[in-house]
Structure 1
Amino acid sequence: MAGNSALEDAVALEIQHVHQLTRSMLDEYAGWGSKISIGDIQQGMYDEVLDFLNFRIETADTCLLLLKNNRVADSLGLSRSLLEHYLLFMLMCRGKKYFKLLDLSGTLTEGQFKVRLQEERQEIEELRTRGKTNYLEVRKYPRGKRHLMYILEGLTNSEEPDFFVPLHYFQFQQFRPETMRLDERKYFQYYTRDTDTDKARREYRDEATLSYRHYLSYDALLQCLELNDLTDELVALRIEAHYTFLGKFLHPTHDAARQLHEQNNVHHGGTVIGMRQPYSKTAELLASLYLCYILAGLLLEAASLIERAPSRFISNAGTATLRELAESVERRFPYFWFLFNDPPLYDRFNYCSSNATSEDWAKWGSYENAPKERIPFNQHIFSNFERSLGSWSNARCGTYQSPIL
């Protein structure tokens, strides 16, 4: 972008627009509680879910403060945390299906396991036909060697068929990382525990490990999202790419932050906070869009949850302005390809420039009409985003116009 002053000015202005919309969403969320009208019965789950979200909103507000103070890499690192909480929040709001596991890896061979799986499927189908089981189906657990995964739906009761509590709501509340990771016997204790207490503690530790491994770890979140039809294979690929990119700024990764700076190959030596060269405006815009999109996703999940609440619990969701702001993010900034929005025009242009066949062109007529399912996500997020801000043309595809000029 160096040397293109018009584009540089446009990026700087676009950053302001993204920040303004992000600030508007944060402010609207802060005042949203006063617009929610409680029905005849107060259901504590809604308060607790919003309490969870309150702390994510605090993190989003911190990200915006970091960006306004030119701390781009730190904002991206915190956005990785926000993204993981967003995946969990989707399950806390819409995760109707859950599963129980049966580990047969130590008792059956692979051939015996396949036979057992088929037998279990037939039995459950017969029981479902007679209304004798709550299991929906049984599958092979994809993240285990020989595990049967028994799938159930919802935590409901016959008295309130219109209300359910996702299992992740409880899994998150009950999980304690110190129980899973720390052996109390190796740390300070006021008194020596007896054998029975030690045994109980080990059981708690095993339960916490299983809960994390199967429901709360990153891999488990992806599995549960797929189980609940909240993602598909293509969305999962985008999640993996964004999660990995943002993770570079959270975990030790060589030169991750340096790559976001102007003239990042120049090394001055000496000591300084960060680098002498500033972060590029493109990097600042990218970090701002990450924050804006994740925040919008969190708010839309919360709005939908409250809107779906039975009227005896919530008589007026008060979400009109909140939803309008959050839904405007994809319309206003469609050139950033996040999780659930359609491929931007640049990605269509880039794909068609090198991959579209003569038959494809005959069907589509232009790159804008390329089917979204044909457009692969570009894993090189920063460089692809940087190119998407410029204008391009070639003999095959015609012209791509910058989305911000």
Structure 2
Amino acid sequence: MSELIAAEVARVNEATRSMISAYCAWGAQIQHGETQLFTHTQLLEFVNLRVETADSCLLLIENGKIADALGLSRSLLENYLLFMLMCRGKKYFQLRDLSEEKLTGGQFKARVAQEQERLRELRREGETDCIEVKRYPRAKDRLMYVFEGLKMKDNPDFIHPAHLVHFQEFRPEAMRLKDENYFQYYQNDKETKKVLQGHVDAEAWRYKHYLSYDALLHSLEINGIIDTNINARIEAHYTFLGKFLHPTHDAARDLHNRRNWHFERTSIGLEHSYSETSTLLASLYVSYLVAGLLDEAATLIEGAPEKYIANAGTPELRKAISRVSRDFPYFWFLFNDPPQYDRFMYCIHHVDPEDVRSWGGYSNVPVVDVPFNQHIYDNFQRSLNSARTTLYSYQSPLPGMQ
């Protein structure tokens, strides 16, 4: 591993360890109000387990198990998406299946308009908590009714996110495993089987509409947490990391030095080490994921009513979190602005030089215009090297890299 990239890997991992240390010390700095809300305890325990996963990723990276660290990071990413909804998912939805009515496209559109008018009347009369009705985008024959939060009876201003409830109540074994295929002390009668099938259907519905990957993205959009561009970045990162979690030909091999060399000898992994670039990329994934999770947790506690949290005690934690986006802006994750390399490449291939000059250089290109590069590893690898064209020059984020 080159000394420059090795030093950067150490710097990134140290930043992640600093965040974890600050998070572990944070609990003692939180000053609770007159009443303690169990929801906060549950959500922080969720983060505790994700921090454990991040710590495992660091151990894998330090021991040269890069593909495994990336695969485990996919799990962290999915949990991060869910955690955003458990903290900020104020809106939830219910579906109405109209498939039995066999409506044409025009008839369905008219039904949507009819339901929207009916909703406006009910809202004027104060007879519904529903805030919106429209076609469910993931099924052509369903209406989606959007509601705002699960409000607590003793504190109507506090909204209990529906995703926390669904996460806590979901039982995958009830959805996937049929009792008749496994040991039973006694056979269920017909009525019991019918009830149990109802549980199976309910769990399948919960997973499909709230906890599956597609459902998480849909709920994030409903709650205004992500937009189309962020959605595209999530899809790219999720797909890339998923290659190391699910069987994907040559996914791990492509991260190795001398990746085209093949041997008949048996060994733990391949004989050649993972590339320095893949090691740095894995470290950045862990760092950004930890920063995202801890930012959500800190924001949650900072925004809690004073009767629950008298003092959030987040200054040191915030200091540790902010270091990631400040010190490592060359990795384009979910919510940060496009790095200089992506701006450079976009301007070379898609922008009139006169426009670039009017902005004062490619660094000032409107960030909303810069598209994400789906080829994450190759693009990241190229971004570590300086580049020059007849019009612009790009400097590596690692001093000394050419």
User: Residue type matched to 2:32 in 1?
Assistant: I
What TM-score do the two structures reach when normalised by structure 2? Answer: 0.97
| Matching residue of 1:104 | 98
| Matching residue of 2:383 | 388
Residue 36 (str. 1) matches residue 34 (str. 2): no
The percent identity for this pair of structures is 54
Shift of 1:146: 1.0
1:117-158: CA deviations, max 9, x gaps?
110011101221222211101011011121000000011146
Residue 220 (str. 1) matches residue 220 (str. 2): no
Residue 53 (str. 1) matches residue 47 (str. 2): yes
| Matching residue of 2:3 | 9
CA contact (8 A) 1:99 1:150 kept: yes
Q: How far apart in 1 are the matches of 2:268 and 2:81?
A: 33
Q: Say which is worse superposed, 373-382 or 363-372, in terms of deviation.
A: 363-372
Residue 404 (str. 1) matches residue 395 (str. 2): no
Q: How far apart in 2 are the matches of 1:198 and 1:93?
A: 37
What TM-score do the two structures reach when normalised by structure 1? Answer: 0.96
Q: Say which is worse superposed, 9-18 or 89-98, in terms of deviation.
A: 9-18
Residue 179 (str. 1) matches residue 174 (str. 2): yes
Residue 288 (str. 1) matches residue 283 (str. 2): yes
Q: How far apart in 2 are the matches of 1:370 and 1:189?
A: 65
1:310-332: CA deviations, max 9, x gaps?
11111111111111111221111
Q: How far apart in 2 are the matches of 1:279 and 1:261?
A: 4
1:105-120 alignment to 2 at 5 Å?
105-109=99-103, 110-120=105-115
1:66-85 alignment to 2 at 5 Å?
66-85=60-79
SS in 1 for 2:111: helix
Q: Say which is worse superposed, 46-55 or 333-342, in terms of deviation.
A: 46-55
CA contact (8 A) 1:289 1:336 kept: yes
User: Residue type matched to 1:173 in 2?
Assistant: Q
User: Residue type matched to 2:373 in 1?
Assistant: N
Structure 1 alignment gaps of length 5 or more: none
User: Residue type matched to 1:327 in 2?
Assistant: S
Shift of 1:162: 2.8
Residue 205 (str. 1) matches residue 200 (str. 2): yes
The counterpart of 2:232, out of the listed 237, 244, 256, is 237
Shift of 1:382: 0.3
Shift of 1:111: 2.4
Q: How far apart in 2 are the matches of 1:382 and 1:142?
A: 32
1:291-302 alignment to 2 at 5 Å?
291-302=286-297
1:244-298: CA deviations, max 9, x gaps?
0000000000000000011101112221111111111110000000000000000
1:186-212: CA deviations, max 9, x gaps?
211111112221111100100000000
CA contact (8 A) 1:162 1:310 kept: no
1:258-273 alignment to 2 at 5 Å?
258-273=253-268
| Matching residue of 1:340 | 335
| Matching residue of 1:131 | 126
| Matching residue of 2:323 | 328
